[in-house]
Amino acid sequence: MSAPAAAPTRWQRVKSWFDVRFRSPAAIYGLIVFAAFVTIADDHADSVGEVLLSAATSLVVFFIAHVFAHTLTEHADHGLRHATREGMRHGAGMLYASVPSVLVLLIAGATGVSVDDAADLSMWSTFVVLALLGYNAYRRRGAGLAGRLLGAFATACLGVFIVLLEYAIH
């Protein structure tokens, strides 16, 4: 007879909460898409508030599309409510991942930072989040400190490159 599994520690619960919200494919996609929306909105907005509204609205539309796609593919097997709830849970990372950039834009808007500078600060916050995710991925793979730092930098650079590629297309 095996011993019952130990209850997760507080740190494990925090890590699990973080992983679901920031270390999922939907979260990373949301982070990159939001950064692209900010960059695109920067070209034609007159205020930081307009950039934030445009980018946030666009991200919410993508989230709704994600939930719709998930629901459509799963509701026959699990029922409409369950499939919708799972789609929202699965896609929630798209919204959570934008929080650091949203906070940067809110603070920038409240302190009178120019639209261009606010968009740049938002991009830097995206770079930092991607670097942290890359560092964590290489840490989990057992890489040494140099590998983690190089992996973090490469991850962040690739993410920002994808944002700029999306911007160039639009």
Average pLDDT over residues 15-36: 84
46 contact partners, CB below 8 Å, separation of at least 6: 115
Q: Where are the alpha helices (H) located in the chain, listed in sequence order?
A: 10-22, 25-42, 48-78, 80-96, 99-110, 115-140, 145-169
Higher pLDDT, 33 or 5: 33
Residue 9 pLDDT > 80, yes or no?
A: yes
Residues 151, 156, 158: CA angle, nearest 5 degrees = 95
What values do phi and psi take at 103, rounded to 5?
-60, -40
pLDDT at 2: 63
Are 26 and 94 in contact by the 8 Å Cβ rule? The answer is yes
At 137-153, the pLDDT tens digits run: 899 899 999 999 999 99
Structure confidence at residue 1 as a pLDDT band (50, 70, 90): low
Q: Classify 28 as helix, strand or coil.
A: helix
The pLDDT of residue 3: 63
pLDDT(35) > 60: yes
How does pLDDT run across 95-113, given as a tens digit for each residue?
998 999 999 999 999 999 9
* pLDDT at position 152: 94
